[in-house]
Structure 1
Amino acid sequence: MRSIGEMARDGGLSVSALRFYDRAGVLVPAWVDPISGYRWYEPEQLEEARLLARLRRAGMPLADIRLVLAAWSGADTDLVRGLLQAHLRRLELGLSDARGEFSTLRALLDHRENPMTSLNTATARLSVPAPELAAALDAVRFAAGTDPELPMLNGILFDIEGEGLHLVTTDRYRMAVAQARTTGHGGLRTQVVVPLPLADAMRALLTGEEPVQLTVDGDRVTLETGDRQTAGQNLGHEFPDYRRLVHLPAGRRAHVDTATFRKALETGPVRPSETRKQDGEAFDLSVLRVTEKGTVIVCDDGDDDPHDVAVNRAFLLDALTAAARDELVLELGAPTAPLAIRRPDDTDTFSILMPVRLED
């Protein structure tokens, strides 16, 4: 017989998904240890698990999956074919409806006045302390996008307003925000998306302690420090309104020692995510829980705690490095709410990670 872990590995389903399907009566283990509660599956159930995984990836409702599995085991091929065909028709109709809605939305976008135009065509010249700009670039660089289908995310937003300069990046799955002080800018709010190669060239110049000059002139961005400078064109795309995305619901706050927490992530349990992908890549999950004592632990989700939050482990490790503090504050809300990583001494620099559902 296969253990639940072996069934998860061989069947293409996560352990939590197998528990869920057991509770739902879809794929019930052949035997459950009455003392430990551990689930065991017979060899012939592996085929059912693989079939279930395929049907769920295709988006079939659980009610239909129950019928497919029952008919599959009874060799009722007519019923199986009928259910598959009916689901395919639903998907095709849904896709047709979605295409119609997106066509309407594109037409609305074509005719909608863009309120951000003035932000990206303004001229600004300001002075920024080199160490602050360097620290801000280091804090956000890790979360920049690389998807060619979303070129507006493949850079760093420089958002200039008043005496503040916000740097923002996002690849949809995570977002990072940092701030640096400025002087000399008294004009309107100005935004420019600096492509990553230019941002990296800027960072290479920021080796001193003296202020540097940042100039935005339409679609051209220039950074000057002493007798050196780097310049280039902005990306020419609108960046999402990040201010709407960083207002998170109140969550549980926990202070963590960064080195200790990093070690717990690197050596603690992970949940492989073969069926989940971000930009086409499979990833490992770390499941986090805030204990009654207010500490954060990395757990294996053995008891299906409804407050557990699962995130991409590699992304979380990147965020810890970028935060560059010995102690950090984690904010964990509901399992469907983003996880925030904050500095205890700097409320304007933080990152957020989108959670990943534990149940397939």
Structure 2
Amino acid sequence: MPNSELMPIGAFAQCSGLTASALRFYADSGLLPPAEVDPVSGYRYYDADQVSRATALRQLREIAMPLAVVEAVLDAGADEAARLLDEHVARIVDDAATARQKAAVIKSALGASVPGLPIAALKGPVLADAVEQVLTATAHEPGMAVLAGLHIEASHEAIALTATDRYRLSTRTLVPAVPAVPAEQTWVGTVDGDDLRAALTTVRRSALVRIEAVPHGIRLRMPEREDRYCRLLFQDFPDHRLMLASLGEATTRATVSKDLLLRVLEEHPGERVSLHISDHGVDVRPPNDEDPGVQLPATVTGAALRIRFEMTTLYPAVSTAIGPDVMLDLRGHDRPVTIRSADRGDLTTLAMPVKFDHSA
């Protein structure tokens, strides 16, 4: 008779999250043998100490880890197990990237005979830099694929690139080298950001890139190089134009050295940062406002202001600005801040502050 403290296979399946059939398979493969098997009935029983191994086994199989590697991870020490996990994930990422690239080539070939709608022609290095800058404001969130995309609005005169993760919004406007969209017409779509990133190396090495709209995506055509296909995302892009139109006038403006501000932010110890903006300049402090900060020289106009940011919001917004100086247009401690180059306005980023606790 089995030990009364042992669990039958059904109870153990509930504790571990594995099905009874999976437990039988892992027992037969030697990965998770039962603690005891009734010699008469053949019923399998498991010990409570086996739950953690069974749970780890289930989690490893959920990330498609081969059985041989699963066994090595389960029997390894913490450092070796972490190394094996990293190798497995890297292999999956590489395989996915390869599959994505091959699929893009196949799609491009399938659509080669389909005439594309010309959108714009841009210098490759200029387009690559703009896409790279704006895509810093993207995010991968479950159910919100559009937040990982680049929104494109093309007209006869300009092409606007926009991305947002809901805490930042970056937009840059480029003048096409060769206008493609007919006068008084526009083309609007949101392109998969990962597809664009994968194409950037080729785009940057091309003197001229012609962008064409094709079914379900865009095609990047480059002389003497393979066409690149990027998917369209069909979720509605957030209404950024309404947000931009409702910002209102800035009540405070500060122009500060980009390098100095970035250096102070890099050395800042916390996850949040407080900016005190006054006639004396920009004072970068911890969020409690009690500890001394670092005073940066700045040209300031308008009312004095205190405002707080998550470091993950403010730092990338400043780092992608063009030029040696950044201009901060502020509208209050709870309103979006516009961050752009002091002398080039074609890249603009909005950064959302965090709630200011006046009792602090």
Smaller-chain TM-score bracket: 0.5 to 0.7
Q: Number of paired residues?
A: 225
CA distance in 1, matches of 2:140, 2:127: 22
**Maintained 8 Å contact 2:171/2:347:** yes
**Among the aligned pairs, what percent are the same residue?**
23
Q: TM-score, normalised on structure 1?
A: 0.58
Q: How does 1:95-114 map to 2 (within 5 A)?
A: none
**Maintained 8 Å contact 1:140/1:168:** yes
Whichever residue aligns with residue 266 of structure 1, its letter is E
CA distance in 2, matches of 1:209, 1:291: 46
CA distance in 1, matches of 2:170, 2:241: 12
1:333 and 2:325 aligned:
no
CA distance in 2, matches of 1:242, 1:218: 25
Q: How does 1:63-102 map to 2 (within 5 A)?
A: none
Q: RMSD across aligned C-alpha pairs, in angstroms?
A: 2.4
**Maintained 8 Å contact 1:219/1:234:** yes
State the partner residue of 1:170: 164
Cα displacement string for residues 212-251 of structure 1 (whole angstroms, at most 9, x for unaligned residues)? 1000124221111112221032112221222122242223
2:284 to 273, 279, 298: 298
Cα deviation for residue 209 of structure 1 reads 6.0
Unaligned runs of at least 5 residues, structure 2: 1-115, 292-302
1:161 to 155, 159, 172: 155
CA distance in 2, matches of 1:349, 1:326: 14
1:212 and 2:209 aligned:
yes
State the partner residue of 1:184: 180
State the partner residue of 1:126: 120
Whichever residue aligns with residue 316 of structure 1, its letter is L
State the partner residue of 1:356: 354
- Which SS does the other structure have where 1:135 is aligned? helix
**Maintained 8 Å contact 1:129/1:181:** no
Unaligned runs of at least 5 residues, structure 1: 1-121, 271-283
- Which SS does the other structure have where 1:340 is aligned? strand
State the partner residue of 1:74: none
CA distance in 2, matches of 1:125, 1:205: 19
CA distance in 2, matches of 1:251, 1:131: 36
**Maintained 8 Å contact 2:181/2:187:** no
CA distance in 1, matches of 2:132, 2:216: 24
Of structures 1 and 2, the larger Rg is shown by 2
- Which SS does the other structure have where 1:297 is aligned? strand
State the partner residue of 1:194: 191
Higher relative contact order (CA 8 A, sep 6+): 1
- Which SS does the other structure have where 1:308 is aligned? strand
Cα deviation for residue 269 of structure 1 reads 5.7
Cα deviation for residue 358 of structure 1 reads 2.5
CA distance in 1, matches of 2:168, 2:354: 12
